Amino acid sequence: MGVEPNMTHMTISPDNFDAVLFDLDGVLTATAKVHATCWKKMFDEYLRKRATDTGTPFQGFDIATDYLHYVDGKPRYDGVRDFLRSRGIQLPEGSNDDRPECESVRGLGNRKNDMINDVIASEGVEVFEGSVKLVHKLRRQGIKTAVVSSSNNCLTVLKAAKIEDLFDTRIDGVVAHDLKLPGKPAPDTYLEAAKRLGVDPQRAVVVEDAISGVESGRNGKFGLVIGVARSGNDEELKQHGADLVVSDLGELLD
C-alpha cells in the first residue's frame, strides 16, 4: 500500500491507487439526514401503533443509536429486519410489492421508500461540494470512480443531484439484488465495483460514512478505507475499519 493508514492527511494519487469507490448518502449527497428522518418517522408510526395495540410503553426510534447501528448503509429490508430484531420484534418477511401499510418487513421498508421519494421529488438533492470537487480532481488525474450504494434509489438521487456522469460504474441496491450480492457490511458490492473497473482491491479506496460501510471496506481488504465523520463519530468509524477519517472530503483536495 502506498500510504500509511495512520496519517491524518494524505493525497490520493495514481501512484498509490487506480480507483476510488464512493458511498452515496452522506458521502456525495446530503441525503443521509433525510434518510434518517424518514426512517424515524416510519418506525415511530409503527412502534406507536404497536404500543397502543399491545398496551406496552412506546419507545421511539433513536437516530443517534438505532439508525447508526442497525440501519445506516444497509440494504433497506436488512435495516428493517435488524432494527426490529434489536427490539425483539418479529414480523413476516412479506414480498417486494407489499403495500406501505402492510405490517411486514418489506411493507415497512416500502413505506420508508415512499417517504424518501416524496422528499427527493419535493425538495431535490443537495451535494457536498468538497466531495464533488474531489471526484472531479480524481478523474482529471485518470483515477477511476464508482458509486457503491445500498439504495434502490441511487440513480434517481444521482440524476437529481446532476452528478450521474461523474462515475465509471454504479453498484446499487438494484444491481445487488439482480446479482444476489449480500449488502454491507459484506464486501461483495465494493468488490463487484472494483471488478467492473478492472482494478485490484489493494489499489482501490473505499469512502464511507456508515459503520457497515467501513466494515465492508475492511472486509474486502481494500488498499485504503476513508471514513467521513459528518456527525463527529470519528473514533467509532476508526474502530470499525476506517484507516483515515475526515469531516469533509474537501480536506483531501490539497
Q: pLDDT tens-digit profile of 187-198?
A: 999 999 999 999
25 included as an active-site residue: yes
Assess whether pLDDT exceeds 60 at residue 9. no
- Please report the pLDDT score of residue 231 as a whole number: 81
C-alpha count within 13 angstroms, C-beta hemisphere, residue 143: 22
3-state class (DSSP) for residue 108: helix
Q: Per-residue confidence at 73, pLDDT binned at 50, 70, 90?
A: confident
Omega of the bond leading into 5 within 30 degrees of 0 (cis): no
The per-residue pLDDT of the chain, averaged, comes to 93
Distance separating alpha carbons of residues 251 and 130, to the nearest angstrom:
8
Distance separating alpha carbons of residues 122 and 106, to the nearest angstrom:
24
- Please report the pLDDT score of residue 2 as a whole number: 35
| Assigned architecture for domain 19-30+126-252 | 3-Layer(aba) Sandwich (3.40)
- Sequence ranges of the chain with CATH classification 3.40.50.1000: 19-30+126-252
23 included as an active-site residue: yes
- Please report the pLDDT score of residue 182 as a whole number: 96
Of the residues 25, 66, 78, 98, which is catalytic?
25
- Please report the pLDDT score of residue 104 as a whole number: 97
Assess whether pLDDT exceeds 70 at residue 214. yes
Instruction: Kindly report the number of other CB atoms within 10 A of residue 224's CB atom.
Output: 24
Percent of the chain with pLDDT over 90: 85
Distance separating alpha carbons of residues 202 and 166, to the nearest angstrom:
22
Q: Per-residue confidence at 10, pLDDT binned at 50, 70, 90?
A: low
Q: Who has greater pLDDT, 7 or 45?
A: 45
Nearest to 38 by CA among 71, 8, 85: 71
Of the residues 23, 72, 98, 188, which is catalytic?
23
Assess whether pLDDT exceeds 50 at residue 52. yes
Give the cell for residue 20. Answer: 476510488
3-state class (DSSP) for residue 8: coil
- Please report the pLDDT score of residue 5 as a whole number: 43
Per the DSSP assignment, residues forming a β-bridge with 25 are 29
Q: pLDDT tens-digit profile of 122-151?
A: 988 999 999 999 999 999 999 999 999 999
Nearest to 158 by CA among 253, 67, 19, 22: 22
Question: Could you tell me where the DSSP H helices lie in 105-230?
Answer: 105-123, 129-140, 154-161, 173-179, 188-197, 211-219
- Please report the pLDDT score of residue 8 as a whole number: 42
